[in-house]
Amino acid sequence: MAVPYADFRFSCPNFSNHRSCMPARRLILLEKPSARLNHIARTLCQSEIEPEWIVAANFINDPNEDCYGLSASRDWPDSGTARRRLALSVARGSSEGWIIQIDFVQFVALGEAGHWKSQPVLRSKTLSRTQAWAIAAVVSRMLDLD
């Protein structure tokens, strides 16, 4: 049963036996954000570096994507060019812990000029800096960001 993109909170399906989680695979063929979110969560579960939670950035499914991030109904961002790419960041949380965030960054051309636009896609939280960087390394490899 697929977990909806906007409602997913990380939990390993079989916490006592991590070998039962889905094996790690590259994300080339997955198209919908829910499939990618599920795959990332299961891979982190398998590698035993589980975050406190992992969720779509726009988990409230607000139509204002510029403010809250990409909505659940959108396809996974098409990146791979210099002007459309995914970016991964690790930052200190507002109250405690560390936030790992994936953003979709693109250049919006307006006539002869333009501007860069960044929209959050996924967020994850851990309680330690070491775990945050370990998760960032795994996700970076999965999404081929390095």
Q: Read off the DSSP letter of residue 2.
A: P
- pLDDT tens column, 62-105: 888 888 888 877 778 877 788 999 999 999 998 889 999 999 99
Radius of gyration of the chain (CA): 15
Residues 2, 37: Cα–Cα separation, whole Å: 10
Can you give the residue range of the structural domain that contains 13?
5-142
Residues 109, 58: Cα–Cα separation, whole Å: 25
Residues 126, 87: Cα–Cα separation, whole Å: 19
- Specify the number of domains making up the chain: 1
- Helix (H) or strand (E) holding 96, with range, is none
pLDDT band at residue 32 under the 50/70/90 scheme? low
Helices (H) and strands (E) in the chain, counts: 3, 4
